[in-house]
Structure 1
Amino acid sequence: MTPTGGAAPGPTPAFPWDDALHFALSRLGWRPAEFWAASPRELAAAIGPSRPVMERAGLDRLLDAFPDEEESIQ
């Protein structure tokens, strides 16, 4: 961090430490010591399996199955 509070310029870190720490503290309820004591494999297991992103065909099937109701504009 720079003296003015902005991010210091430099290369992108290889691991998103800020995101991982935020997730562990806020979503998992870990204390900082628990986060820093965990291995990357333990953190990954606590976060859970990654889920595939829905592709357009899947979205189209959902839209067909659950169409928006028509609303009359007055």
Structure 2
Amino acid sequence: MRAARFDWPALMQAGMRGLGLRPAEFWALTPAELELMLGTRAGIAPLRRGGLEALMADFPDAPKDTKDE
């Protein structure tokens, strides 16, 4: 399986031209920070109560032993 490649020219253009970043500022960013600045995750909704309840039902915490030993 081959890892996904970044389109560096497009990312550099978006960061330096679109966001006005200097090269040093662009290269200092993590991919997550650049993604946040570009707004590429704006369409992903946060986890809501129903989703949390479904996760809790699928992956319950192990019961805790309440006896004093």
* TM-score, normalised via structure 1 length: 0.48
How many percent of aligned residue pairs carry the same amino acid? 38
> Quick one: distance in 2 between partners of 1:33 and 1:20?
14
Segments of 5+ residues of structure 2 without an aligned counterpart are 44-69
Q: Which has the higher contact order (CA 8 A, sep 6+)?
A: 2
Listed as ranges, the gaps of 5+ residues in structure 1 are 1-12, 53-74
1:19-66 CA-to-partner distances (Å, cap 9, x unmatched) read: 0001111110000000000000000000003577xxxxxxxxxxxxxx
Ranges of 4+ aligned residues in structure 1 off by more than 6 Å? none
- Assess if the C-alpha contact under 8 Å between 2:35 and 2:41 holds in 1: no
| Two-structure CA RMSD over aligned residues (Å) | 1.9
Cα distance in 2 between the residues matched to 1:22 and 1:36: 12
CA distance in 2, matches of 1:27, 1:51: 17
Judged with a 3 Å threshold, the aligned counterparts in structure 2 of structure 1 residues 31 and 14 are, in CA distance, closer, same or farther, namely: same
Aligned residues: 40
The one-letter amino acid paired with 1:45 is L
Given the alignment of the two structures, is residue 22 of structure 1 paired with residue 13 of structure 2, yes or no? yes
**Distance in 1 separating the partners of 2:18 and 2:40:** 15
In 2, Cα distance between equivalents of 1:29 and 1:48:
15
Aligned partner of 2:37 in structure 1 is 46
TM-score normalized by the length of structure 2: 0.51
